[in-house]
Amino acid sequence: MKFVFLAIAFGASLLVSAQQKTPVYLDVTKPIEERVENALSQMTIEEKVSLCHAQSKFSSKGVPRLGIPEVWTDDGPHGIREEVFWDEWDGAHWTNDSCTAFPALTCLAATFNPELSLLYGKSIGEEARYRNKTVLLGPGVNIYRTPLNGRNFEYLGEDPFLSSQMVVPYIQGVQSMGVAACVKHFALNNQEEWRGHINVNVSDRALYEIYLPAFKAAVQEGKVWAIMGSYNQLRGEHCCHNDLLLNKILKNEWKFDGVVISDWGGVHSTDQAVKNGLDLEMGTYTNGLTSKGTFPYSEYYLANPFLKGIKEGKYDVALLNDKVRRILRIIFRTTMSSNRPFGRFVSPEHSEVARKIAEEGIVLLKNDKQFFPIPAGKYNKIAVIGENATRSLVIGGGSSSLKVAYEASPLQILTAKYGKEHIVYSLGYASGAAVYGREENSKLNADSLINKAFDIAKNADVVLFIGGLNKNHFQDCEGGDRHSLDLPFGQDKLIDALLKANKNTAVILASGNAVAMPWIDRVPAIVQSWYTGSEAGNALANVLSGEVNPSGKLPFSFPKKLEDNAAASFGKLAYPGDSINEYYKEDILVGYRWFDTKNIAPLFPFGYGLSYTTFAYSKPTVDMTETTAEGTVKVSFTLTNSGKTDGAETAQLYVSKPKSAVTRAAKELKAFRKVFLKAGESQTVMIDVPVNSFAYYNEGKHGWEVEPGSYTLLLGSSSRDIKGKVEVKVK
């Protein structure tokens, strides 16, 4: 008996005698659907309902009687969050849960490299697998609609095609490790202000063309196993139990066979949760990060109230069975899969992946007179100024805050690379601690910090200012949007002082959002370095020194002023709303679609990024000048590295329909290719563009339509730097 007890305690599925036949659901040689049906047939109503709601902050029940294990979730998407107490948000103070911090997803998007996205997903999947997680709560694919959104750093930019191309390999990488990816937040969670209740009013066309494509790609191409609902409402229904989103679109149109998981605190009604597509209720009676309720898990909406409704005949058992099938499916795909690989944690290989993604994602925005690179020995005295040179940027930000095994800071690695006798540091400005839910101001005197930095800068050969945003509340942080496009903590004043002290001052910005740059014309060089995780210092130092040639491209537009942003241009009803309703008045014209269609010059355009070398494009050609909606156009051109340094260029292909029966953006990204070339090397590049990607969503017909007529294919280095064009006619 002792042996039997221990076996079950350690998660043995079910002990059977030699004469007893193994239950089908335990037979890993059987198809998953057969196993699901067999397990379902052996469960009581009470056991089924118990699968549909949480039992702790991050887990839900299994069926111990049948040896079906619990589901354990963990926050991502940039690293595996520390263990917490059973029913608390506080860390459990384990000594073996310090993870690798990978770059934030804005940085991944800036690589424009799907191969790196696959490597990212596999690496973070290995860390989740090592920690025995069932579901990784990520990646996030909400669209960058406004530069004030506190969670933009967690997402993949403003363009639905780029997001779609980058999310699919991430999912495939995670799930190759036997861990379910959970794409979030479905859908329209494009701000933190009033996120728990704001009702989004958006056209069907904008919904389908802008805000849903990455989710659709995740389901139909990435075959994702889980999706998380969002906090906000769409057309009067909360998105965690929204009939249009979850039943009609996700499960019926897209044939999603996985689990819909609620965001923590996103469920508000048993009736809607039962009927409108939610499968697994997590974290109810909390704001999702701090507060908690006094209700037991048995009183969740999909717990006892659901069970009572079934027993009274109010709810059809078929609705329960559908939810349970989906939960069993994810368990059999992960924990109870026979070919689930082993994981690994904080390995040298993961550090290399994190560094590689950071290096390819860093964007060189300005580089007058070849300010960068700065090889070792070029200058005797380099002044490094700014809090972000030393501040940890993996903590804070909300649910993506991480407990890391190590974090290489920029100052640490720059000092090692150039020599401590050549580096002098000053804080320059200071923010408060990263405390969720409120602002913490620094107690240091701002003028004294500026004066000290000024004195150091004037005696240096060159100044590297490392600032930007951080993950404090009202910066890049869950639960609150930014209040301004400006740099916080007096940084603009500091930069002015540094430029007066030393005109050779470069600005390096860590952020997940665009910022205003009133000093842009006076600064010789600007680098967008994002939040790059454990390898932040190594990646930045390698780019600044020239050991790595920057190749990142902006995944979203930088406006010159906030009012140039599409959502902001329509006033408060368009963003952030009136606290009850919000109207997406810019419709499909999000990001560069707005800037280019309305002919508003951005500070930096979508797809923009400089290199230490130069690239030349030949005139593009196509394999056919006439095609049908079912065809594929092959665009060819020659790309040449015309400089003296090896490098990479992301060629971008946009499509334009000059004469259309409906409103169209001036151009839309439909393909891209990152090409690595040696100095002086040329390569013929071919890009396939399916003609059905030219379609717009026809609201009258409730479907996609490719208009006949002429289209212009635009080949560019960014949305504003078009190198060549070619015409195609669709019959």
Q: Are 505 and 173 in contact (CB under 8 A)?
A: no
Instruction: Determine the 3-state secondary structure of 105 from DSSP.
Output: helix
Q: Are 66 and 14 in contact (CB under 8 A)?
A: yes
Strands of the 668-677 sheet, one edge to the other:
626-627, 722-730, 709-716, 647-656, 668-677
Taking the C-alpha atoms of residue 275 and residue 597, their distance in angstroms, rounded to an integer, is 41
DSSP structure class, residue 594: H
Taking the C-alpha atoms of residue 290 and residue 332, their distance in angstroms, rounded to an integer, is 32
Instruction: Determine the 3-state secondary structure of 29 from DSSP.
Output: coil
Residue-by-residue DSSP string for 287-305: -SSS---SS-GGGSTTSHH
Taking the C-alpha atoms of residue 696 and residue 662, their distance in angstroms, rounded to an integer, is 9
Phi, psi (deg, nearest 5) at residue 219:
-80, -55
Q: Are 229 and 241 in contact (CB under 8 A)?
A: yes
Closest CA to 247 of 281, 217, 272: 272
Which candidate in 74, 75, 97, 263 is catalytic?
Answer: 263
Phi, psi (deg, nearest 5) at residue 275:
-90, -25
Q: Are 226 and 259 in contact (CB under 8 A)?
A: yes
Q: In this structure, are strands 363-367 and 525-528 parallel, antiparallel, or unpaired?
A: antiparallel
Cα four-point dihedral sign 678, 682, 688, 689: positive
Closest CA to 179 of 255, 250, 128: 128
Taking the C-alpha atoms of residue 61 and residue 84, their distance in angstroms, rounded to an integer, is 17
3-state secondary structure 414-458: HHHHHCCCCEEEECCCCCCCCCCCCCCCCCCCHHHHHHHHHHHHH
Taking the C-alpha atoms of residue 372 and residue 541, their distance in angstroms, rounded to an integer, is 11
Instruction: Determine the 3-state secondary structure of 497 from DSSP.
Output: helix
Say which residues have a Cβ less than 8 Å from residue 563's Cβ, sequence separation at least 6. Answer: 569
Q: Is 263 among the residues known to form the active site?
A: yes
| Residues tagged active-site | 263
